[in-house]
Every structure is written in C-alpha cells, then in structure tokens.
Amino acid sequence: MTAVEVPVTTRKDWASDQEVRWCPGCGDYSILAAIQLLMPDLGVRREDTVFVSGIGCAARFPYYMNTYGMHSIHGRAPAIATGLAMARPDLHVWVVSGDGDALSIGGNHLIHALRRNINITILMFNNQIYGLTKGQYSPTSELGKVTKSTPFGSLDHPFNPLSVAIGAEASFVARTHDMDRNHMIETFRRAHEHRGAAFVEVYQNCNVFNDGAFEGITSKSVRDDMLIPLRHGEPIRFGSEGQWGVVLDAQAGARIVEVAEVGEDALLVHDETRTDPSVAFMLSRLSRGPSEPTPIGVFRAVDRLEYSAEVTRQVEEEIERKGPGDLAELLRSGATWEVS
C-alpha cells in the first residue's frame, strides 16, 4: 500500500477495543458515535489521524478512537495540538475538550490557537458544568447556578463560547448539539475540511450533574421553534411554519421578528464567508442562554493564512537565502551566540 492510498473502512475500524466508560445516558456517547460514523467518509487514514484531549469527561475520547491520540493535561490540549500540527502538517489533528477544560485553565491556549489559525479541529463539549469532578459550576454555567462549589448561586458571568471564538477571529466557528446526529456529522465534516483553526461548540447533556440543561431548545417537541438554522446564502428563518426570522437593526443589532410583519426581504441573509466578524458575533449573542431561540450551524467560515504553512514558508525562504544550518556546530559552540 502506498502512502496516498486510503483503505475502505467502517465505523468498527475507527472504534478502539476499550470499554466506553461514561455515565449511562451521557451525551458524549452520541458525539462519539457521530465521529466514528463520519471518519470512514473523510478519505483519511487512521495512521494520519490524532485526537488530543485535556482533562475531564470529554478527555476520555482518544481512548475510544482507533487512531493516534494523547490524553494531555488540564487545558493544554490546544497547545500540544499546536506543536503537533506545526511539526507534522500532514496529520489530521483533532482537539476534544470540555467547557471547563477549554475556557477556564485552558482559556489562553484556546484563544491563541484560534487567532494564530493553526490547522486543528477543536470540538468543545459544553454541558455547563464540571462533570468529572462531580458537579461544580463551570465558565459557561448560568448566573445563579447552585452547585457544590456555589451553594448560594454562582455570581460569575458566564462565557459565551462562540463569542470568545469569534472575538479571537477564529476562521471557522460552528455550533451543534448531541440530540441531532446528522447535524453533528455534517458540522464536524465542515470543520475538518476547513484549512485552519476550526472551533465547534457541541451542546452536550450531563444527565448526572446538569440534566436537561439544553432540553428547552433541543428536545424534538420544541426544536423547530427554538433552534435557528444558519444556512449560507439563505434568509435566517425558523419556526414550525417559518414564522420567525432574524433582521439586523441599526440600534439593537441582530434581533428576532415575525416574518409576517417585516416581510422576507427584510430578513438577514446568512453569509458565513463574511470577512468582518461583527455580524457573526451579533448572531452568537442573539440568545442569552439555552432557554431562548438559539442559532445553530456554521457562523463563520473564512479563508485566512494558516500558521504552520506560513512558518514553513519562512524557514524554506531562509534556507534558500542562507543555506541549511549546522546543528552539530551549534551544539559544540559556546554558551552564547549571535543571531544575525
């Protein structure tokens, strides 16, 4: 088999021999199934695929994939993935992280990987709680959240993960949820195909410590009226009868209206390729939490210079200008040296 050949595989080929050990009913099972079902269709080899995780329930993910993987340390998965993507640009590097892992101790690593536009695909499982450590509030928990670490209610203003990513000018930003396998598969596919840093927030139910956190928008009985599908090139419209839409208001920004009152021509046409991130940011702020109509899908997908390719270009240009360096000579040199 040559290096360019990709064997035909099935979900079974991408699943490891490890027993999956999440709490029964956890949304992580659904996300894992979506990834394992997607991988055979991506045209990639298992040997060229790496899953990097931090600490938390989501961080078990690499154990269950029959690929290379690393269970790293708390919050540092984007940093480790950055090094890997820089050293091995031929690999397909995925990062799996939870809302606590990614946005608390890992916050700086996340935003810098996004702003640099490293070629990695980041999946952030957001259950609005710390699950592995037994139910403390997380950076995405709502104000007033009563937990073991906030018995009187949380006073911390929560992060909006998509606003953080768009604020860092990530070149690909999307949201999906664990109750819709087809939507997850398509969103993950888009993220993988993007050249640069891709960030996907996945609403994921923790049925032990934060059960039903997203039920008000993701359950089948309310989904049509509560989820706002973002489709590139189409007016943003939702509702069981398409009765609601989104417009841009000069004073209030993006807001929800009744289509019958404003007319379809007034609706905002979604453009995920818009270079300016301001409209995508407004869409990320349309909902104040998972109890209001919430946009879902790809918010932003723009072309931007990819970091590792640019570093490689700089190195190659310098070698062409000066010739290759001599590492052995450098190691035998004194304790100091001059950089010209």
Give the whole-angstrom CA distance, residue 182 versus residue 285: 25
- Provide the Cα torsion 34, 187, 191, 299; round to 10°: -150
- When pLDDT is averaged across residues 312-319 and rounded to a whole number, the result is 92
Instruction: With cut-offs at 50, 70 and 90, classify the pLDDT of residue 3.
Output: low
What pLDDT was estimated at residue 289?
Answer: 92
Whole-number Cα distances in Å, 337 to 1, 314, 327, 329, 333? 47, 22, 13, 11, 8
Query: Per-domain residue ranges for the chain?
Result: 11-213+305-309
CB 275 within 8 A of CB 250: no
pLDDT band at 36 (very low <50, low <70, confident <90, very high): very high
Do residues 61 and 98 lie in contact, with contact meaning Cβ atoms separated by under 8 Å? no
Q: Which two tokens stand for residue 163?
A: 């606003």
User: For 116-144, what is the mean pLDDT?
Assistant: 96
Residue 1 has pLDDT above 60, yes or no: no
More confident position, 333 or 206: 206
| 202: CB partners within 8 A, 6+ apart | 31, 123, 124, 125, 126, 175, 176, 177, 178, 184
Average pLDDT estimate for 1-18: 87
Tell me what the mean pLDDT of segment 332-339 comes to: 78
Contact 246, 268 (CB under 8 A): yes
pLDDT tens, position by position, 210-231 = 999 999 999 999 999 999 999 9
Quote the percentage of the chain above a pLDDT of 90.
91
What is the per-residue pLDDT across 288-314, written as a single tens digit (0 to 9) for each?
999 999 999 999 999 999 999 999 999
Q: Evaluate if residue 13 carries a pLDDT over 90.
A: yes
Q: What is the pLDDT of residues 168-177, one digit of tens each?
A: 999 999 999 9
pLDDT value for 118: 96
Residue 338 has pLDDT above 80, yes or no: no
DSSP codes of every residue in 216-266: HHHSTTTHHHHEEEE-TTSB-EESTTS-EEEEEETTTEEEEEEHHHH-GGG
Confidence band of 91 (pLDDT split at 50, 70, 90):
very high
Computed over every residue of the chain, the mean pLDDT equals: 95
Strands 172-177 and 294-301: antiparallel
Q: Is the pLDDT of residue 93 over 90?
A: yes
Q: Is the pLDDT of residue 188 over 90?
A: yes
- What's the mean pLDDT in 269-298? 97
**Could you tell me the fold of the domain covering 11-213+305-309?**
Rossmann fold (3.40.50)
Report residue 326's pLDDT band, with 50, 70 and 90 as the boundaries. Answer: confident
What are the DSSP calls for 6-60, one per residue? -----HHHHB-SSPP-S-TT-THHHHHHHHHHHGGGTT--GGGEEEEE-SSGGGG
Helix (H, G, I), strand (E, B) or coil at 97: strand
**Model pLDDT, residue 330:** 79
Looking at residue 81, its pLDDT comes to: 98
pLDDT tens for each residue of 177-186: 999 999 999 9
pLDDT of 200 strictly over 60: yes
